[in-house]
Structures are given as C-alpha cells and as structure tokens.
Amino acid sequence: MTYAIVAYILTAVVWIAYLLWLRGRVARARGE
Amino acid sequence: MNQTSLTPRWWDPAGRVLWVAAVALVLASWWAAASFAPVEAQMGPVQKIVYVHVPSAIVTLIAFGLTFAASIAYLTTKQWRWDAIAASSCELGMVFATVVLISGPLWARSAWNTWWTWEPRLTSFLILWILYAGYHVVRSSIRSASRRTISSVLGIVLFVNLPIVWKSVEWWRGSLHPRNVTMTGEMRETLLLSMAAWIVFFAAAMVSRLRLEWVREAAAERA
C-alpha cells in the first residue's frame, strides 16, 4: 500500500510543480 | 494591443469550467481507487497504481499524437496556432510521461521485485521520453524563423515511436507487461473514471499552456 500512496503523492507533486512553473512563465511573458 | 488579445473571448471561462471538472474528476477517481475498487487478489493494494499509471500512459500517447497532427497542420497551413498546439501538447505529454516513469517503477518494485528492468515496454517508453525531451531542447535552442518548421518536422518524425511503444509487448520477447488485461466490475469502472478524469485534466492543462503561447505571440507582435 505504501508504494501506491507514494505513487499518488508523487503524481500530485509533479503536476503541482509543473502548473506553478507554467504560471510563473505566463507571468514573466506578460512582463509582471 | 492587450497582451492577451489573441486569446479568444471564451478561453478563460472555458478554462475555468475545465479545471473545476478536471480537479473534481481526478479527486473522484482517487477516491474510487482507494475506496470503491477492490484490492487485487495477487498483487494486493499496490495494483491500485494502475488507476494513475495506465491513464497517464494513454494520455501521453494522445498528447504526442496531437503534436503529430498539429505539426502536419502547421506545415500545411503555416498558421502559428497549430505550432502552438503542437508544442503545448508535447510539453504536457512529457509531464504525463514523467508520471508514468515515476509510478511504473514503484509498481514494478512490488510486482516484479525490481525498480527497473530493460524489458520492451519500459525500454521503448524511456526512449520515447528521451526523444521527446530532445524536441524541447531543439525547439528552445532555435531563435530563427525556422523554429516552427523544424519543431513540426520533429513532431512528425518522433511519432514513429508511438506504435513502437504500443506494440512493444507483441514485437519483442521478454515483456513483463501483459499483452491484454481484462477488467470487470468496480475495477473497470474505476479505470474508466480515471481515464476520463486525466483526459479532462489534459484538456484543462492544454487551455492553460496555450495561454502562454497566446501571450508570447501577442508580445512578439508588439515588438
């Protein structure tokens, strides 16, 4: 069960990290 | 000119609706995986990784398939929006592929007693990830006007990897991945819900990623 929980947590971490990075790039492209 | 004036008027409302649906569906699929789907008899609870691993792998192929189609459309029409769709879809495909490469070894450690083995599906998928990473390296290194054309050619050429990954379990011996999996009942319903959830998530993420392309294009037009 531990491996499954780790897989789900890491999936969430990867997506949150990516979406934050994307948000930062949009802000930079706007010159904010 | 407004910085996002290239964005269609319905873009932001559509994005919000998609994100609400995507988050709700993903959370529902995770609840279903934890509480609704039964524990698999042989592998035990670790098999529940299937509900994030398989949908992510399928959406990876959808994303790279969209890159292929949009790349052809760009070379045919030379409209920058097709290139924007190809690049955005390719980037999201990389994130989905990364999730596959993280969740897979966690499952393999329990099911096969190893984090990694050079069996056909794993090897071909890793090659797929490396080659599509190359797409982004090449794209980001080109500053000239040929950037879109070269990216589109790559988006088309790299597509040859997709059927190789898909058929790898049939074309080569020694595959640990099953050729066919038949699921019934709650397991099948949970997998279908997870598939739907991650496809909607991909659509929502595409809307957000394309916004970056619209903003960049608007800035380039002003310059």
Q: What is the mean pLDDT, run by run of 10 residues, along chain B of 223 residues?
A: 64 91 97 91 89 96 98 96 96 98 92 88 94 96 90 96 88 73 86 97 96 89 77
| B169/A18: higher pLDDT | A18
Residue A19 contacts B where some CB pair is shorter than 8 Å: yes
> Which of B3, B110, B216 has its CB closest to that of A3?
B110
Chain B residues with a Cβ under 8 Å from any Cβ in chain A = 3-4, 30, 33, 44-49, 52-53, 56, 95, 98-99, 102-103, 106-107, 109-110, 205, 208-209, 211-212, 215-216, 219
B94: nearest CA in chain A? A18
Q: Write the DSSP symbol of residue B115.
A: S
Q: Are B197 and B29 in contact (CB under 8 A)?
A: yes
Which pLDDT belongs to residue B3?
46
The confidence score (pLDDT) of residue B76 equals 97
Mutation site for A-interface testing, chosen from B30, B201, B212 by largest number of A Cβ within 10 Å: B212
Nearest CB to A26 within list B52, B53, B212: B212
Looking at the complex, report in whole angstroms how far the Cα of residue B102 sits from the nearest Cα belonging to chain A.
7
Q: Which amino acid is at B168?
A: S
- Quote ipTM for the complex: 0.95
For residue B2, give every residue at least 6 positions away whose Cβ sits within 8 Å of its Cβ, in sequence order, or none: B218
Distance CA B122, CA B176 (A): 9
What's the confidence (pLDDT) of residue B4?
56
Burial grade of B163 (CB within 10 A; 0-12, 13-18, 19 or more): exposed
B76's tokens: 């045919």
Predicted local confidence at residue A1, as pLDDT: 67
| The pLDDT value given to residue B51 | 96
C-alpha torsion angle, residues B192, B197, B202, B203 (rounded to 10): 100
**pTM: predicted TM-score of the whole model, two decimal places:** 0.93
Q: For residues B83 and B70, is the Cβ–Cβ distance under 8 A?
A: yes
DSSP B2: -
DSSP one-letter code for B40 = B
Give the model's pLDDT for residue B212: 94
Q: Which of B90, B98, B136, B198 is the best residue to mutate to test the A interface, defined by the most A CB atoms within 10 Å of its own CB? A: B98
